[in-house]
A and B are shown apart, each in its own frame.
Chain A
Amino acid sequence: MSSEIQERSDIDQIPVAARPATTPPPRPQTWVLKLIMAVTGSVFVLFILFHLAGNLKVYLPDDPQGHFNEYAHWLRTLLNPLLPGSTFLWIFRATLVACLCLHVYSGLTLWIRAHRLRGRHARKVHATKHHLTGRTMLWSGLIILSFIVFHLLDLTIGRGVESKDFSTKAVYKLEGGEVVTDAYSNLVHSFQRPEVAIFYVVVMVVIAFHLSHGLWSVINDFGGTAPRTRTVFLFLADLVALIVVIGNASIPLAVLAGGISV
Protein backbone atom coordinates (compact mmCIF):
# COMPACT_ATOMS: atom_id res chain seq x y z
CA MET A 1 0.00 0.00 0.00
CA SER A 2 2.74 2.39 0.92
CA SER A 3 4.44 2.08 -2.45
CA GLU A 4 1.38 3.50 -4.19
CA ILE A 5 1.70 6.68 -2.22
CA GLN A 6 4.95 8.37 -3.09
CA GLU A 7 4.21 12.03 -2.77
CA ARG A 8 3.59 13.70 0.54
CA SER A 9 1.10 15.99 -1.17
CA ASP A 10 -1.05 12.93 -1.98
CA ILE A 11 -1.00 11.88 1.64
CA ASP A 12 -2.45 15.18 2.75
CA GLN A 13 -5.62 14.25 0.86
CA ILE A 14 -6.20 11.11 2.95
CA PRO A 15 -7.99 11.54 6.30
CA VAL A 16 -5.51 10.93 9.11
CA ALA A 17 -7.34 7.89 10.44
CA ALA A 18 -7.27 6.18 7.04
CA ARG A 19 -3.57 6.67 6.38
CA PRO A 20 -1.43 3.59 5.97
CA ALA A 21 0.85 2.70 8.88
CA THR A 22 4.01 3.08 6.88
CA THR A 23 4.29 6.05 4.60
CA PRO A 24 7.24 7.94 3.17
CA PRO A 25 8.36 10.87 5.30
CA PRO A 26 8.58 14.39 3.86
CA ARG A 27 11.83 15.13 2.03
CA PRO A 28 14.26 16.42 3.02
CA GLN A 29 13.51 14.69 6.30
CA THR A 30 12.94 16.94 9.29
CA TRP A 31 15.91 15.55 11.23
CA VAL A 32 18.18 16.26 8.24
CA LEU A 33 16.95 19.86 8.09
CA LYS A 34 17.47 20.20 11.84
CA LEU A 35 21.00 18.88 11.46
CA ILE A 36 21.70 21.41 8.70
CA MET A 37 20.33 24.17 10.96
CA ALA A 38 22.58 23.05 13.79
CA VAL A 39 25.76 22.78 11.67
CA THR A 40 25.30 26.05 9.78
CA GLY A 41 24.09 27.82 12.94
CA SER A 42 27.24 26.68 14.75
CA VAL A 43 29.38 27.97 11.88
CA PHE A 44 27.68 31.36 12.29
CA VAL A 45 28.28 31.32 16.03
CA LEU A 46 32.00 30.67 15.48
CA PHE A 47 32.08 33.40 12.85
CA ILE A 48 30.32 35.90 15.12
CA LEU A 49 32.80 35.25 17.94
CA PHE A 50 35.73 35.58 15.53
CA HIS A 51 34.26 38.79 14.13
CA LEU A 52 33.72 40.11 17.67
CA ALA A 53 37.36 39.51 18.57
CA GLY A 54 38.35 41.66 15.58
CA ASN A 55 35.82 44.38 16.41
CA LEU A 56 37.07 44.65 19.97
CA LYS A 57 40.42 45.94 18.67
CA VAL A 58 38.80 49.39 18.62
CA TYR A 59 39.28 49.33 22.40
CA LEU A 60 43.05 48.75 22.31
CA PRO A 61 44.73 51.49 24.38
CA ASP A 62 47.41 52.52 21.92
CA ASP A 63 46.75 53.04 18.22
CA PRO A 64 43.38 51.26 17.87
CA GLN A 65 43.06 52.61 14.35
CA GLY A 66 46.31 50.97 13.27
CA HIS A 67 45.46 47.62 14.91
CA PHE A 68 41.95 47.56 13.52
CA ASN A 69 43.05 48.35 9.98
CA GLU A 70 45.85 45.83 10.22
CA TYR A 71 43.33 43.18 11.27
CA ALA A 72 41.02 44.09 8.36
CA HIS A 73 44.00 43.80 6.04
CA TRP A 74 45.15 40.53 7.65
CA LEU A 75 41.73 38.99 7.03
CA ARG A 76 41.92 39.99 3.39
CA THR A 77 45.33 38.45 2.83
CA LEU A 78 45.15 35.44 5.16
CA LEU A 79 47.10 32.34 4.04
CA ASN A 80 49.11 34.41 1.57
CA PRO A 81 51.34 33.35 -0.16
CA LEU A 82 49.78 29.86 -0.11
CA LEU A 83 46.67 31.33 -1.68
CA PRO A 84 47.16 34.41 -3.82
CA GLY A 85 45.57 37.81 -3.08
CA SER A 86 42.33 37.65 -1.16
CA THR A 87 41.54 34.01 -2.10
CA PHE A 88 41.15 33.04 1.53
CA LEU A 89 38.69 35.85 2.13
CA TRP A 90 36.63 34.66 -0.83
CA ILE A 91 36.60 31.02 0.32
CA PHE A 92 35.58 32.30 3.73
CA ARG A 93 32.80 34.39 2.21
CA ALA A 94 31.59 31.58 -0.07
CA THR A 95 31.33 29.23 2.93
CA LEU A 96 29.33 31.78 4.88
CA VAL A 97 26.99 32.48 1.96
CA ALA A 98 26.44 28.74 1.38
CA CYS A 99 25.71 28.27 5.09
CA LEU A 100 23.34 31.22 5.04
CA CYS A 101 21.38 29.82 2.07
CA LEU A 102 21.11 26.38 3.70
CA HIS A 103 20.17 27.88 7.07
CA VAL A 104 17.44 30.09 5.64
CA TYR A 105 16.09 27.32 3.39
CA SER A 106 15.91 24.80 6.25
CA GLY A 107 14.50 27.36 8.67
CA LEU A 108 11.69 28.31 6.30
CA THR A 109 10.88 24.69 5.44
CA LEU A 110 10.68 23.72 9.12
CA TRP A 111 8.58 26.76 9.91
CA ILE A 112 6.10 25.92 7.14
CA ARG A 113 5.87 22.29 8.32
CA ALA A 114 5.31 23.39 11.88
CA HIS A 115 2.58 25.82 10.93
CA ARG A 116 0.72 23.34 8.79
CA LEU A 117 0.54 20.88 11.67
CA ARG A 118 -0.61 23.00 14.57
CA GLY A 119 -4.31 22.82 15.36
CA ARG A 120 -7.07 25.40 15.26
CA HIS A 121 -7.80 26.26 18.90
CA ALA A 122 -6.13 29.04 20.85
CA ARG A 123 -3.26 28.00 23.09
CA LYS A 124 -2.20 29.53 26.39
CA VAL A 125 1.51 29.05 26.93
CA HIS A 126 3.89 29.07 29.87
CA ALA A 127 5.82 32.30 30.19
CA THR A 128 9.21 30.68 29.69
CA LYS A 129 12.24 32.27 28.11
CA HIS A 130 12.17 29.67 25.36
CA HIS A 131 8.77 30.90 24.33
CA LEU A 132 9.96 34.44 23.81
CA THR A 133 13.10 33.41 21.94
CA GLY A 134 12.06 30.07 20.45
CA ARG A 135 8.83 31.05 18.80
CA THR A 136 10.35 34.16 17.26
CA MET A 137 13.31 32.39 15.60
CA LEU A 138 12.03 33.01 12.08
CA TRP A 139 11.38 36.69 12.76
CA SER A 140 14.68 37.31 14.53
CA GLY A 141 16.33 35.38 11.67
CA LEU A 142 14.72 37.57 9.02
CA ILE A 143 15.78 40.72 10.91
CA ILE A 144 19.34 39.34 11.02
CA LEU A 145 19.16 38.64 7.28
CA SER A 146 18.16 42.21 6.46
CA PHE A 147 20.81 43.45 8.87
CA ILE A 148 23.50 41.44 7.03
CA VAL A 149 22.52 43.19 3.80
CA PHE A 150 22.53 46.60 5.50
CA HIS A 151 25.83 45.93 7.24
CA LEU A 152 27.58 44.94 4.01
CA LEU A 153 26.22 47.98 2.15
CA ASP A 154 27.20 50.22 5.05
CA LEU A 155 30.73 49.09 5.89
CA THR A 156 32.01 46.74 3.19
CA ILE A 157 30.62 47.85 -0.15
CA GLY A 158 29.60 51.41 0.67
CA ARG A 159 26.49 51.80 -1.41
CA GLY A 160 23.17 53.41 -0.49
CA VAL A 161 23.40 53.51 3.29
CA GLU A 162 27.06 54.37 3.95
CA SER A 163 28.15 57.54 5.76
CA LYS A 164 29.17 60.49 3.59
CA ASP A 165 32.82 60.03 4.60
CA PHE A 166 32.95 56.37 3.55
CA SER A 167 35.86 55.31 1.37
CA THR A 168 37.28 52.00 0.12
CA LYS A 169 40.43 53.72 -1.13
CA ALA A 170 43.75 52.67 0.36
CA VAL A 171 44.52 55.76 2.38
CA TYR A 172 45.85 54.43 5.67
CA LYS A 173 49.56 53.69 6.07
CA LEU A 174 50.30 50.69 8.31
CA GLU A 175 53.44 50.59 10.47
CA GLY A 176 55.02 48.16 8.01
CA GLY A 177 54.60 50.76 5.29
CA GLU A 178 51.70 49.11 3.47
CA VAL A 179 48.81 51.39 2.53
CA VAL A 180 45.36 49.90 3.23
CA THR A 181 41.66 50.82 3.42
CA ASP A 182 40.80 52.88 6.49
CA ALA A 183 38.09 50.54 7.82
CA TYR A 184 38.35 52.16 11.25
CA SER A 185 37.33 55.61 10.04
CA ASN A 186 34.48 54.15 7.99
CA LEU A 187 33.19 52.44 11.15
CA VAL A 188 33.44 55.56 13.28
CA HIS A 189 31.78 57.77 10.65
CA SER A 190 28.93 55.33 10.26
CA PHE A 191 28.26 55.12 14.00
CA GLN A 192 28.41 58.88 14.40
CA ARG A 193 24.94 58.85 12.84
CA PRO A 194 22.72 58.25 15.93
CA GLU A 195 19.93 56.41 14.07
CA VAL A 196 22.45 53.97 12.59
CA ALA A 197 24.17 53.41 15.94
CA ILE A 198 20.82 52.69 17.62
CA PHE A 199 19.88 50.31 14.80
CA TYR A 200 23.10 48.35 15.32
CA VAL A 201 22.42 48.12 19.05
CA VAL A 202 18.84 46.89 18.53
CA VAL A 203 19.96 44.27 16.02
CA MET A 204 22.59 42.98 18.47
CA VAL A 205 19.81 42.35 20.99
CA VAL A 206 17.85 40.47 18.31
CA ILE A 207 20.95 38.38 17.50
CA ALA A 208 21.35 37.62 21.21
CA PHE A 209 17.77 36.30 21.31
CA HIS A 210 18.37 34.14 18.24
CA LEU A 211 21.63 32.82 19.68
CA SER A 212 20.35 32.04 23.14
CA HIS A 213 17.65 29.75 21.74
CA GLY A 214 19.81 28.63 18.81
CA LEU A 215 22.67 27.21 20.86
CA TRP A 216 20.20 25.41 23.10
CA SER A 217 18.69 23.90 19.92
CA VAL A 218 22.11 22.77 18.75
CA ILE A 219 22.59 20.39 21.68
CA ASN A 220 19.15 18.90 21.03
CA ASP A 221 19.70 18.53 17.30
CA PHE A 222 23.03 16.80 17.81
CA GLY A 223 21.20 14.39 20.12
CA GLY A 224 22.77 15.47 23.41
CA THR A 225 20.84 13.59 26.09
CA ALA A 226 23.34 13.75 28.95
CA PRO A 227 21.76 15.98 31.60
CA ARG A 228 25.02 17.69 32.53
CA THR A 229 25.94 18.53 28.92
CA ARG A 230 22.47 19.97 28.45
CA THR A 231 22.76 22.17 31.51
CA VAL A 232 26.16 23.40 30.32
CA PHE A 233 24.73 24.26 26.90
CA LEU A 234 21.76 26.04 28.41
CA PHE A 235 24.22 28.21 30.33
CA LEU A 236 26.63 28.58 27.40
CA ALA A 237 23.84 29.70 25.09
CA ASP A 238 23.01 32.65 27.32
CA LEU A 239 26.66 33.40 27.99
CA VAL A 240 27.58 33.58 24.29
CA ALA A 241 24.49 35.68 23.57
CA LEU A 242 25.44 38.06 26.36
CA ILE A 243 29.07 38.32 25.22
CA VAL A 244 27.97 39.08 21.66
CA VAL A 245 25.47 41.74 22.66
CA ILE A 246 27.72 43.47 25.21
CA GLY A 247 30.86 43.28 23.07
CA ASN A 248 29.33 44.46 19.82
CA ALA A 249 26.62 46.86 20.96
CA SER A 250 29.07 48.75 23.15
CA ILE A 251 31.00 49.93 20.07
CA PRO A 252 28.28 52.11 18.47
CA LEU A 253 27.38 53.35 21.96
CA ALA A 254 31.01 54.27 22.64
CA VAL A 255 31.19 56.14 19.33
CA LEU A 256 27.98 58.02 20.17
CA ALA A 257 29.31 58.90 23.61
CA GLY A 258 32.50 60.21 22.01
CA GLY A 259 34.76 57.55 23.55
CA ILE A 260 35.87 56.34 20.12
CA SER A 261 36.65 58.84 17.40
CA VAL A 262 38.92 59.28 14.41
Chain B
Amino acid sequence: MSKRGSILYLDGITVSFDGFKALNSLSLIVGQGEMRAIIGPNGAGKTTMMDVITGKTRPDEGEALFDGNVDLLTRDEATIARLGIGRKFQRPSVFESHTVWDNIELALEGNRGVVDSLFHRLSPAEMARIEEVLETVGLTAQARRLAAHLSHGQKQWLEIGMLLAQEPKLLLVDEPVAGMTDDETAATARLLKRIAREKAVVVVEHDMSFVRELGVRVTVLHEGAVLAEGSLDAVSADPRVIEVYLGR
Protein backbone atom coordinates (compact mmCIF):
# COMPACT_ATOMS: atom_id res chain seq x y z
CA MET B 1 0.00 0.00 0.00
CA SER B 2 1.23 3.50 -0.72
CA LYS B 3 -0.04 7.04 -0.31
CA ARG B 4 -2.89 6.31 -2.66
CA GLY B 5 -5.69 4.48 -0.90
CA SER B 6 -4.36 5.36 2.52
CA ILE B 7 -6.30 7.39 5.06
CA LEU B 8 -3.18 8.00 7.07
CA TYR B 9 0.36 8.00 5.76
CA LEU B 10 3.25 8.65 8.11
CA ASP B 11 6.78 8.52 6.79
CA GLY B 12 10.00 9.03 8.70
CA ILE B 13 8.41 11.06 11.50
CA THR B 14 10.94 12.11 14.12
CA VAL B 15 10.07 14.03 17.27
CA SER B 16 12.66 14.88 19.85
CA PHE B 17 12.21 16.46 23.24
CA ASP B 18 15.48 17.96 24.44
CA GLY B 19 17.48 15.47 22.43
CA PHE B 20 15.38 12.48 23.47
CA LYS B 21 13.69 10.93 20.47
CA ALA B 22 10.07 10.18 21.36
CA LEU B 23 9.48 9.20 17.73
CA ASN B 24 12.37 7.91 15.72
CA SER B 25 11.70 7.85 12.00
CA LEU B 26 8.27 6.35 12.45
CA SER B 27 6.49 5.13 9.34
CA LEU B 28 2.97 3.84 9.33
CA ILE B 29 0.22 3.47 6.76
CA VAL B 30 -3.43 2.95 7.60
CA GLY B 31 -5.76 2.10 4.75
CA GLN B 32 -9.14 3.67 3.98
CA GLY B 33 -11.75 2.20 6.31
CA GLU B 34 -9.19 0.10 8.13
CA MET B 35 -9.12 -0.44 11.88
CA ARG B 36 -5.63 -0.68 13.33
CA ALA B 37 -4.54 -1.46 16.86
CA ILE B 38 -1.32 0.03 18.18
CA ILE B 39 0.42 -1.54 21.12
CA GLY B 40 3.75 -0.97 22.77
CA PRO B 41 5.36 -0.39 26.15
CA ASN B 42 4.92 2.83 28.13
CA GLY B 43 6.81 5.66 26.55
CA ALA B 44 6.93 3.96 23.15
CA GLY B 45 5.58 7.14 21.54
CA LYS B 46 1.97 6.13 20.88
CA THR B 47 0.44 9.29 22.27
CA THR B 48 3.14 11.43 20.70
CA MET B 49 2.23 9.91 17.33
CA MET B 50 -1.36 11.05 17.82
CA ASP B 51 -0.11 14.48 18.84
CA VAL B 52 1.72 14.73 15.54
CA ILE B 53 -1.27 13.60 13.49
CA THR B 54 -3.63 16.06 15.17
CA GLY B 55 -1.31 19.07 14.96
CA LYS B 56 -0.45 19.35 18.64
CA THR B 57 3.21 18.50 18.18
CA ARG B 58 5.32 19.43 15.18
CA PRO B 59 7.84 16.78 14.19
CA ASP B 60 11.46 17.65 13.42
CA GLU B 61 11.22 15.78 10.17
CA GLY B 62 9.01 13.42 8.25
CA GLU B 63 5.86 13.45 6.23
CA ALA B 64 2.28 13.03 7.39
CA LEU B 65 -0.56 12.83 4.88
CA PHE B 66 -4.27 12.43 5.43
CA ASP B 67 -6.49 10.88 2.80
CA GLY B 68 -3.51 10.31 0.53
CA ASN B 69 -2.76 13.94 -0.26
CA VAL B 70 -3.54 16.39 2.57
CA ASP B 71 -0.40 17.52 4.37
CA LEU B 72 -1.09 17.47 8.11
CA LEU B 73 2.15 19.08 9.19
CA THR B 74 1.26 22.56 7.94
CA ARG B 75 -2.16 22.69 9.60
CA ASP B 76 -3.29 23.52 13.12
CA GLU B 77 -5.48 21.48 15.47
CA ALA B 78 -8.80 23.07 14.58
CA THR B 79 -8.19 22.73 10.84
CA ILE B 80 -7.15 19.11 11.16
CA ALA B 81 -10.25 18.36 13.20
CA ARG B 82 -12.35 20.00 10.50
CA LEU B 83 -10.65 17.86 7.86
CA GLY B 84 -12.14 14.82 9.52
CA ILE B 85 -9.77 13.51 12.16
CA GLY B 86 -11.33 12.96 15.55
CA ARG B 87 -9.35 12.17 18.64
CA LYS B 88 -10.10 10.60 21.99
CA PHE B 89 -7.54 11.43 24.61
CA GLN B 90 -5.77 9.03 26.90
CA ARG B 91 -7.27 10.72 29.94
CA PRO B 92 -11.01 11.13 29.44
CA SER B 93 -11.50 14.70 28.38
CA VAL B 94 -15.09 15.92 28.24
CA PHE B 95 -16.69 19.24 29.08
CA GLU B 96 -17.53 18.59 32.70
CA SER B 97 -19.80 21.55 33.34
CA HIS B 98 -21.94 20.77 30.31
CA THR B 99 -24.62 18.14 30.12
CA VAL B 100 -24.02 14.97 28.16
CA TRP B 101 -26.37 16.30 25.50
CA ASP B 102 -24.47 19.60 25.19
CA ASN B 103 -21.17 17.75 24.94
CA ILE B 104 -22.46 15.90 21.91
CA GLU B 105 -24.06 19.04 20.50
CA LEU B 106 -20.80 20.95 20.65
CA ALA B 107 -19.02 18.18 18.80
CA LEU B 108 -21.74 17.91 16.16
CA GLU B 109 -20.55 18.31 12.60
CA GLY B 110 -21.34 21.82 11.37
CA ASN B 111 -20.04 25.34 11.08
CA ARG B 112 -17.61 26.28 13.86
CA GLY B 113 -17.48 30.04 13.29
CA VAL B 114 -18.14 32.56 16.05
CA VAL B 115 -21.06 34.26 14.34
CA ASP B 116 -22.61 30.99 13.20
CA SER B 117 -22.37 29.60 16.70
CA LEU B 118 -23.99 32.70 18.14
CA PHE B 119 -27.04 32.46 15.90
CA HIS B 120 -27.24 28.69 15.62
CA ARG B 121 -30.56 27.03 16.23
CA LEU B 122 -30.60 23.28 16.70
CA SER B 123 -32.48 21.74 13.77
CA PRO B 124 -34.69 18.67 14.12
CA ALA B 125 -32.18 16.73 12.02
CA GLU B 126 -29.39 17.69 14.39
CA MET B 127 -31.46 16.69 17.40
CA ALA B 128 -32.17 13.34 15.83
CA ARG B 129 -28.46 12.91 15.17
CA ILE B 130 -27.59 13.72 18.79
CA GLU B 131 -30.14 11.19 19.97
CA GLU B 132 -28.73 8.63 17.59
CA VAL B 133 -25.20 9.16 18.88
CA LEU B 134 -26.35 8.98 22.50
CA GLU B 135 -28.10 5.74 21.67
CA THR B 136 -24.99 4.33 20.03
CA VAL B 137 -22.81 4.98 23.06
CA GLY B 138 -25.54 3.99 25.50
CA LEU B 139 -25.93 7.32 27.23
CA THR B 140 -29.53 8.14 26.29
CA ALA B 141 -30.68 7.94 29.90
CA GLN B 142 -27.86 10.25 30.99
CA ALA B 143 -28.51 12.96 28.39
CA ARG B 144 -29.48 15.65 30.89
CA ARG B 145 -26.81 14.87 33.47
CA LEU B 146 -23.68 16.93 33.81
CA ALA B 147 -20.70 15.18 32.30
CA ALA B 148 -18.88 15.72 35.60
CA HIS B 149 -21.29 13.33 37.28
CA LEU B 150 -20.64 10.42 34.92
CA SER B 151 -18.61 7.37 35.90
CA HIS B 152 -15.17 6.95 34.42
CA GLY B 153 -16.37 4.44 31.83
CA GLN B 154 -19.31 6.62 30.86
CA LYS B 155 -16.97 9.55 30.29
CA GLN B 156 -14.92 7.40 27.95
CA TRP B 157 -18.05 6.55 26.00
CA LEU B 158 -19.18 10.14 25.97
CA GLU B 159 -15.88 11.07 24.44
CA ILE B 160 -16.29 8.39 21.81
CA GLY B 161 -19.78 9.76 21.22
CA MET B 162 -18.36 13.24 20.70
CA LEU B 163 -15.96 11.74 18.21
CA LEU B 164 -18.82 10.15 16.30
CA ALA B 165 -20.82 13.38 16.31
CA GLN B 166 -17.92 15.06 14.53
CA GLU B 167 -18.44 12.65 11.62
CA PRO B 168 -14.72 12.15 11.14
CA LYS B 169 -13.21 9.91 8.49
CA LEU B 170 -10.50 8.80 10.86
CA LEU B 171 -10.82 8.21 14.59
CA LEU B 172 -7.78 8.17 16.84
CA VAL B 173 -8.65 6.46 20.09
CA ASP B 174 -6.06 6.52 22.86
CA GLU B 175 -6.51 3.83 25.54
CA PRO B 176 -10.32 3.69 25.51
CA VAL B 177 -10.67 0.91 28.08
CA ALA B 178 -8.14 2.05 30.68
CA GLY B 179 -9.84 1.82 34.05
CA MET B 180 -12.92 0.00 32.72
CA THR B 181 -14.51 -3.11 34.19
CA ASP B 182 -14.45 -6.30 32.08
CA ASP B 183 -18.08 -5.81 31.05
CA GLU B 184 -17.42 -2.24 30.03
CA THR B 185 -14.31 -3.30 28.12
CA ALA B 186 -16.24 -5.89 26.15
CA ALA B 187 -19.00 -3.39 25.38
CA THR B 188 -16.42 -0.87 24.20
CA ALA B 189 -14.83 -3.44 21.90
CA ARG B 190 -18.19 -4.11 20.30
CA LEU B 191 -18.84 -0.37 20.00
CA LEU B 192 -15.53 0.26 18.24
CA LYS B 193 -16.04 -2.66 15.91
CA ARG B 194 -19.39 -1.23 14.94
CA ILE B 195 -17.86 2.18 14.31
CA ALA B 196 -15.09 0.60 12.25
CA ARG B 197 -17.61 -0.66 9.74
CA GLU B 198 -17.94 2.89 8.45
CA LYS B 199 -14.76 4.69 9.45
CA ALA B 200 -11.03 4.22 9.73
CA VAL B 201 -10.00 3.76 13.36
CA VAL B 202 -6.62 3.73 15.07
CA VAL B 203 -6.80 2.35 18.61
CA VAL B 204 -3.97 2.49 21.10
CA GLU B 205 -4.42 0.00 23.91
CA HIS B 206 -2.44 -2.00 26.45
CA ASP B 207 -5.22 -4.43 27.24
CA MET B 208 -4.36 -7.55 25.23
CA SER B 209 -7.71 -9.27 25.61
CA PHE B 210 -9.32 -6.12 24.27
CA VAL B 211 -6.98 -6.05 21.28
CA ARG B 212 -7.72 -9.72 20.67
CA GLU B 213 -11.42 -8.92 20.80
CA LEU B 214 -10.98 -6.30 18.08
CA GLY B 215 -9.36 -8.90 15.85
CA VAL B 216 -7.53 -6.45 13.60
CA ARG B 217 -4.04 -5.84 12.30
CA VAL B 218 -1.64 -4.80 15.05
CA THR B 219 1.35 -2.46 14.96
CA VAL B 220 3.89 -2.69 17.76
CA LEU B 221 5.73 0.52 18.60
CA HIS B 222 8.97 0.54 20.52
CA GLU B 223 11.24 3.48 21.24
CA GLY B 224 9.48 5.66 18.73
CA ALA B 225 9.58 3.28 15.77
CA VAL B 226 7.63 0.32 14.41
CA LEU B 227 8.95 -2.92 15.82
CA ALA B 228 6.54 -5.34 14.21
CA GLU B 229 3.28 -5.41 12.32
CA GLY B 230 0.76 -8.13 11.55
CA SER B 231 -1.99 -10.14 13.14
CA LEU B 232 -2.00 -10.26 16.92
CA ASP B 233 -0.95 -13.90 16.86
CA ALA B 234 1.92 -13.19 14.52
CA VAL B 235 3.30 -10.26 16.49
CA SER B 236 2.84 -12.05 19.81
CA ALA B 237 5.02 -14.83 18.49
CA ASP B 238 7.74 -12.39 17.43
CA PRO B 239 10.69 -12.83 19.81
CA ARG B 240 11.59 -9.12 19.72
CA VAL B 241 8.05 -8.17 20.71
CA ILE B 242 8.08 -10.71 23.51
CA GLU B 243 11.34 -9.32 24.76
CA VAL B 244 10.42 -5.61 24.85
CA TYR B 245 6.75 -5.79 25.64
CA LEU B 246 4.83 -8.98 26.20
CA GLY B 247 7.48 -10.89 28.06
CA ARG B 248 7.77 -8.49 30.96
A binds B: no
Q: Which residues of A contact B (CB under 8 A)?
A: none
Q: Which residues of B contact A (CB under 8 A)?
A: none
